[in-house]
Amino acid sequence: MPSARKRIKLKARNKRGGASIAEFGPALGLILICIFFPLVDMLAMGVSYGLCMVLNYNQVHEAALIPSSEALNNAGPIKKGIPDQWLNGMGHFVNMSGYPSTNISYRNGIADASNNQDKIVTVSTTVVCNPFLPIPLPVVNVPGLNGSMTFTLTSECQMENPDNVQ
């Protein structure tokens, strides 16, 4: 039979071990709410940004190949065709509100000795993305955590045929 002193030490050890199990649940909840879910939202926003970049790159490369009248048409391949194809493919992974907005502009590039003028097309795509898991924050609206985040991507490309710009 253990002495009285040993029994007191054993009881004290048992009391300390039970307290750590009782604190595990709240600690796990705090880690999930404050660290894990915000990281998932930020990762989803990074993936959304990358997929929106793919859309913008496809638009600017197509705009460099076709005449400006087709590119500037709202029902044309740049503003309607490519975004529709993207929405049916990679766009499924982007939690968007609305439809991607596209602006196209042209500017002069470098002129050579024989006075041939290069033309450069600029395509700006704006997409409003919502968070994957909206985290309810009572006072503030943080884009990417509990509010939408707007991405505006701009790319430039030299026109294949400068005569396509009127």
Tell me the DSSP string of the chain: ---HHHHHHHHHHHHHHHHHHHHHHHHHHHHIIIIIHHHHHHHHHHHHHHHHHHHHHHHHHHHTTS-HHHHH-TTSIIIIIHHHHHHHTGGGGS-BSS--EEEEEEEEEEE-TT-PEEEEEEEEEEEEE--SS----SS---BTTTB-EEEEEEEEEE-S-GGG--
Domain that holds residue 136: 4-164
pLDDT in tens, the chain (166 residues): 667 666 666 565 555 555 667 788 888 888 888 889 899 999 999 999 999 999 999 999 999 999 999 999 999 999 999 999 999 999 999 999 999 999 999 999 888 878 788 999 999 999 999 999 888 888 888 888 889 999 999 999 999 888 888 7
List pLDDT tens digits, range 60-106.
999 999 999 999 999 999 999 999 999 999 999 999 999 999 999 99
Number of domains comprising the chain = 1
Confidence (pTM): 0.81
